[in-house]
């Protein structure tokens, strides 16, 4: 038997999330069907992060065991014609047998993207959260820093409890801005004639606002609840002290609503190959599955 690790990028818009669900199209179902077709055997695929409905990925890590002789590059390129256009394999690596994308993940990084503009961009409607009101990013960053460290984050978990523990460690949380990538922008280049009647469409010269958060794990809807809460800070309704109080209260209703799924991306996953841990796992007759999702 062999273990293959794939890195996937996908647009989660039309999927019910990663995990297989009855009567709904899931990413896991589509990926497993493609891998099984290529390998010629039934394959069960495990993911590092069970992303929720509508959530995207840039660096989702998955793994599966196979007795197939398909070379590792065969999975990288052979899946191109077996997967839909909204799922892409960006890397394929053969790992020591027993490696598991979920249980051997050390930390994950999610990114939430906001388009902070007076007017919406129709081509971005499934890729960002459009917010037209000005946001105080300095205040949002100060509030985000109160979350760094090891805490009980159940106030940001939907339908708590979903897992045995809601204690997680956040290693970094940072807001940043960047400029608009402009193939749809009516303004022309400096070598061409100026655009007709140009209208200001943004409230900031860098309208993309994004939030990177890295942790050893995430609770269900945790990132979206954090972003929804930090937006209250950016609008001047809450302060860093309010966010600290909400964290200490442990009450979901005290925190903000979940930000829309369309702006969330699983960016990358750091994994480890620990021979002793893998050996202990393989020695068990069954590996207990965690049925709850990430964000």
CATH code, 116: 3.30.70.660
Q: Are residues 158 and 68 in the same domain?
A: no
Span of 179-183, 211-215, 227-231 with lowest mean pLDDT: 179-183
Q: What is the pLDDT of residue 207?
A: 86
Q: What is the pLDDT of residue 182?
A: 60
Residue 214 counted as domain residue: yes
Residue 288 counted as domain residue: no
User: Count of alpha carbons within 13 Å of 145, Cβ hemisphere only?
Assistant: 6
Q: Does 291 participate in catalysis according to the annotation?
A: no
Residue 295 counted as domain residue: no
Rounded average pLDDT over 257-261: 97
Rounded average pLDDT over 202-228: 91
Handedness of CA 7, 26, 126, 171 (dihedral sign): negative
Q: Are residues 188 and 241 in the same domain?
A: yes
Rounded average pLDDT over 166-188: 81
Residue 57 counted as domain residue: yes
pLDDT in tens, 81-140: 999 999 999 999 999 999 999 999 999 999 999 999 998 889 899 999 999 999 999 999
Q: Are residues 223 and 120 in the same domain?
A: yes
**Cα–Cα distance for residue pair 72/59, rounded to 1 Å:** 18
Q: Are residues 145 and 96 in the same domain?
A: no
Span of 112-126, 156-170, 186-200, 258-272 with lowest mean pLDDT: 186-200
Handedness of CA 87, 93, 95, 101 (dihedral sign): negative
110: nearest Cα among 189, 168, 184, 39: 168
Span of 2-6, 71-75, 120-124, 235-239 with lowest mean pLDDT: 120-124
102: nearest Cα among 23, 142, 44, 150: 44
Portion of the chain with pLDDT greater than 90, in percent: 76
Q: What is the pLDDT of residue 181?
A: 61
Q: Kindly report the pTM of this predicted structure.
A: 0.90
Active-site residue identified among 52, 104, 268, 295:
52
Higher local confidence (pLDDT), 151 or 185: 151
Tokens of 268: 């990358």
**How much is the mean pLDDT over the chain?**
90
pLDDT of 265 higher than 50 = yes
Q: How many domains would you assign to the chain?
A: 2
* Domain residue limits at 217: 108-266
Q: Are residues 35 and 122 in the same domain?
A: no
Rounded average pLDDT over 267-294: 77
Are the beta carbons of 54 and 129 closer than 8 angstroms?
Answer: no
The pLDDT confidence band at residue 197, using thresholds 50, 70 and 90, is very low
Q: Are residues 118 and 231 in the same domain?
A: yes
């Amino acid at each position: 038997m062999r273990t293959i690790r794939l890195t996937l990028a996908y647009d989660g818009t039309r999927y019910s999330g990663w995990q297989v669900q009855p009567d709904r199209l899931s990413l896991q179902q589509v990926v497993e069907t493609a891998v099984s077709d290529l390998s010629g055997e039934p394959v069960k695929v495990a993911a590092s992060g069970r992303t929720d409905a509508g959530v995207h990925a840039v660096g989702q890590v998955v793994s599966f065991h196979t007795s197939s002789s398909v070379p590792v590059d065969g999975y990288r390129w052979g899946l191109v014609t077996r997967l839909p256009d909204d799922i892409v394999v960006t890397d394929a690596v053969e790992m020591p047998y027993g490696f598991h994308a979920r249980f051997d993940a050390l930390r994950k990084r999610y990114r939430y993207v906001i388009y902070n503009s007076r007017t919406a961009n129709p081509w971005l409607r499934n890729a960002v959260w459009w917010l037209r009101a000005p946001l105080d990013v300095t205040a949002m960053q100060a509030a985000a820093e109160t979350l760094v460290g090891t805490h009980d984050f159940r106030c940001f978990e939907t339908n708590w409890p979903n897992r045995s523990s809601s204690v997680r460690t956040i290693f970094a949380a940072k807001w940043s801005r960047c400029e608009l990538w402009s193939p749809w922008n009516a303004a022309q280049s400096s070598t061409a004639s100026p655009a007709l009647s140009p209208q200001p469409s943004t409230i900031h010269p860098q309208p993309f606002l994004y939030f990177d958060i890295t942790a050893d794990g995430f609770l269900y809807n945790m990132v979206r609840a954090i972003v929804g809460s930090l937006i209250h800070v950016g609008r001047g309704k809450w302060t860093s002290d309010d966010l600290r109080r909400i964290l200490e209260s442990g009450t979901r209703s005290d925190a903000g609503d979940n930000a829309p799924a369309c702006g969330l991306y699983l960016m990358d996953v750091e994994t480890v190959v620990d021979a002793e841990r893998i050996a202990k796992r393989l020695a068990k007759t069954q590996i207990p599955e965690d049925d709850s999702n990430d964000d």
